Amino acid sequence: MDRMNLKIGVIKGDGIGPEIVTEAMKVLDKAAEKYGHTVEYTKLLMGGASIDVHGIPLTDETVAAAKACDAVLMGSIGGDAKTSPWYKLEPSKRPEAGLLRIRKELNLFANLRPAVLYDELKGACPLKEEITEGGFDMMIMRELTGGLYFGERKTVEENGVMTAYDSLTYNENEIRRIAKRGFDIAAKRRKKVTSVDKANVLDSSRLWRKVVEEVAGEYPGVTLEHMLVDNCAMQLVKDPKQFDVILTENMFGDILSDEASMVTGSIGMLASASLNETKFGLYEPSGGSAPDIAGKGIANPIATILSAAMMLRFSFDLDREADAIETAVAKVLKEGYRTIDIMSEGKRQVGTEEMGGLIAKNI
């Protein structure tokens, strides 16, 4: 592999964001150094950190600067909704509005969330051992820029009764592009796609199912099955091993990916990637800004570090470097090091910085 210059935008964000991103950068720098690449970071402000400086959660300049990078690494944004002044602003000016806008601006329509049960962390999994025996490894692919969260909405008074409307819309092109991404990824894994919908009730789901079936025709090596979302919610706790790639629309994916993350044990371990049609991606931990533990130096940086590994894999095609990071994470866990969220008896508790340092050292 040629030596590369990686142009990475960095949104440290709010709460624990700066703490965990700093550790991911440490690990990225080490991997780059080892394999002869250079990294060029561009600092980007979003969320509360941007509100404090610019009064809005995302400026046009930041969007342009993000677009000029090859990929963006992000911590998390937002604060405590009860106490933070950011939540006294109108909804369109709050931290989360920045996140919704950047996803739309960068056309990040595919959200990938791996849910992997590490052998070393089996104890943290709330499911019975007979269900998790041998671990599990699934990838949830959620449509991110359409559906209910982006549809028209309004609240009106009708005949003296307050009534709220939200609309769920998908066109066939939106479904096709995410389905293709899902099949591409399944083709490199265990070659199975479970497409999740509510086709017994919703028109949008019936179209979803039809288009996914068409796309499946182009991937004869990949098996497709359909599952209703309510059944999928049950199957995730009953038999998580059956899943390879779960392909689903925005709201179902929002809920199912949180459920899948819970069965792996800790939110601090869960990476994520949001991709568009090019190699560009936004990589971030699945968790939020954890204001309850911010500034204490105890947050788990592994989800962000694994997100950085996904960035190397999906945006830069640096599989060897991504493998090196993932192997280093597994090794440090095997050696018994734990942050507080994944701590168990007989293990050695470390803080955010020490965990990042240990992983970097093992690359």
End-to-end CA distance of the chain: 18
User: CA torsion, points 37, 29, 300, 12, in degrees to nearest 10?
Assistant: -100
DSSP notation for 235-298:
HHHH-GGG-SEEEE-HHHHHHHHHHHHHHHS-GGG---EEE-SSS-EEE--SS---TTTTTTT-
- Give the residue numbers annotated as catalytic, written as ranges: 149, 198, 230, 254, 258
Residue 268 binds ligand NAD, judged by CB under 6 A: yes
Residue 267 binds ligand NAD, judged by CB under 6 A: yes
- Hey, is 8 helix, strand or coil? strand
Write the single-letter amino acid at 94: R
H/E stretch holding 206: helix 203-216
Q: Is 77 exposed, middle or buried (0-12, 13-18, 19+ CB in 10 A)?
A: buried
Residue 83 binds ligand NAD, judged by CB under 6 A: no
Residue 77 binds ligand NAD, judged by CB under 6 A: yes
Q: Nearest distance from residue 355's CB to ligand NAD, in Å?
A: 10
Apex CA 245: angle with CA 240 and CA 247, to 5°? 110
Q: Which is nearer to ligand NAD, 194 or 261 (CB)?
A: 261
Residue 215: CA count within 13 A, CB half-sphere: 26
Calpha distance 329→349 (Å, rounded):
15
Q: Nearest distance from residue 303's CB to ligand NAD, in Å?
A: 6
Calpha distance 302→322 (Å, rounded):
13
Q: Nearest distance from residue 287's CB to ligand NAD, in Å?
A: 3
Per CB under 6 A, the segment of 25-33, 117-125, 285-293, 312-320 that binds ligand NAD is: 285-293
Q: Which of 78, 98, 146, 253 touches ligand NAD (CB under 6 A)?
A: 78
Residue 353 binds ligand NAD, judged by CB under 6 A: no
Q: Which of 197, 249, 326, 341 touches ligand NAD (CB under 6 A)?
A: 341
Residue 308 binds ligand NAD, judged by CB under 6 A: no
**Number of neighbours of residue 288 by Cβ within 10 angstroms:** 18
Q: Which of 71, 139, 141, 299 touches ligand NAD (CB under 6 A)?
A: 299
Residue 46 binds ligand NAD, judged by CB under 6 A: no
Residue 345 binds ligand NAD, judged by CB under 6 A: no
Count, residues near ligand NAD per rule CB under 6 A: 23
Per CB under 6 A, the segment of 31-39, 72-80, 117-125, 199-207 that binds ligand NAD is: 72-80
Binding mask 91-110 for ligand NAD (x = CB under 6 A): -----x--x-----------
**Number of neighbours of residue 183 by Cβ within 10 angstroms:** 23
- Residues in contact with ligand NAD by the rule CB under 6 A: 16, 20, 76-79, 96, 99, 267-268, 284-285, 287-293, 299-300, 303, 341
